[in-house]
Structure 1
């Protein structure tokens, strides 16, 4: 099924921001990557680059928010799940030439003090990840406070390890993060598999 022009623009924007951040992506880059004429960008997004970036980040954030539940769901032991999660992230990063970094984190770090509309959008996405992860782990049997703590620890460690892995061109930061975090959760049983939110 063919994507609409609007979807093509948002997909191109997310991919470009994943690699370059926000400031280094120009409207002409979005036009070239999406195959849409410049006029179409403004037709679909009268708010210009900020609107495109915000909507692309929201879409990407929804997809990346599924990462933890999807990778944890097959496991019954939280420690085992944590180690597997970081190992899979390391494999994904290496397979993409260390370019598989979430555009939300790329943009959030860059614009936190310069583009408030995008700072707010990334904050809402992060809040959604934390709330969604906490709800997922609660459904898997963790007490709500622990479920929230686990989610904050995992998201924080993943995002930091992604930056190190991308910069160093190495799987080591992700593998070490998983190896160090996992023992603290080993033996913590996860209940029946929860449906991955969607």
Structure 2
């Protein structure tokens, strides 16, 4: 793996586990196996530049993962419950580490790091756009699909926080059930009979 990619991967994991403020350059160097000078060589803006790339790359990877997970289900309603159940299993198996570095960082620095907020905003916009297209293909109108995807992203991000705080799968499983029910109702309205 290239040095810049090792640095980005290490930053993604540190952001996911502990957030932006708690992550220092020395810790990043140790986690990536790259000297501090290499971090500044590859990322002229230092920690902020590495975090920026980590958000962009992890956001794209999480979108691909969600599409892959949803694609395993022929029934979009069952897909929602399945994705949330998979997330519940994964977060528990990782010792309750937050699964999304984007949500972790945005919750922490949205008001004090405008560049990172903007990067996170672009990531979320890409999630909303791709999700809207997916649920339009499932039969929802554009506005209903967009609203549902916002609820889906908010449900996942919020449930990650609650699951981590409570050391419980219940928030993810409950959010999955409720969102699956909402999707079923929206699809029934979109496709009467």
- TM beyond 0.5: yes
Corresponding residue SS for 2:85: helix
Residue 2 (structure 2) aligns with: 4
By how many angstroms is 1:127 displaced?
0.8
Q: Deviations over 1:65-118 (max 9, x none)?
A: 123322221323332221111111111111111114211100000001111111
| Equivalent pair of 1:57/1:122 in contact (CA under 8 Å) | yes
**Are positions 1:39 and 2:48 aligned together?**
no
Q: TM-score, normalised by structure 2?
A: 0.91
Q: TM-score, normalised by structure 1?
A: 0.89
Range with greater deviation from structure 2 (174-183 or 109-118): 174-183
Q: 1:171-186 maps to which residues of 2 (within 5 A)?
A: 171-186=169-184
Residue 103 (structure 1) aligns with: 101
Tell me which of 99, 111, 115 is aligned to 1:117.
115
Residue 56 (structure 1) aligns with: 54
For structure 2, the residue ranges without an aligned partner over 5 or more in a row are 189-193
Residue 14 (structure 2) aligns with: 16
Residue 151 (structure 2) aligns with: 153
CA distance in 2, matches of 1:123, 1:21: 17
Higher relative contact order (CA 8 A, sep 6+): 1
Corresponding residue SS for 2:95: coil
The runs of at least 4 aligned residues of structure 1 exceeding 4 Å deviation read: none
CA distance in 2, matches of 1:27, 1:185: 43
CA distance in 1, matches of 2:183, 2:133: 18
Count of matched residue pairs: 187
By percentage of residues, which structure has more helix? 2
**Are positions 1:77 and 2:75 aligned together?**
yes
Residue 162 (structure 2) aligns with: 164
| Equivalent pair of 2:98/2:104 in contact (CA under 8 Å) | no
Residue 94 (structure 1) aligns with: 92
**Are positions 1:141 and 2:155 aligned together?**
no
CA distance in 2, matches of 1:173, 1:53: 28
CA distance in 2, matches of 1:174, 1:39: 41
Pairwise CA RMSD: 1.5
CA distance in 2, matches of 1:68, 1:36: 31
By how many angstroms is 1:42 displaced?
0.6
| Equivalent pair of 2:98/2:161 in contact (CA under 8 Å) | no
For structure 1, the residue ranges without an aligned partner over 5 or more in a row are 190-198
Q: Deviations over 1:124-158 (max 9, x none)?
A: 11111111111222233332222212211111100
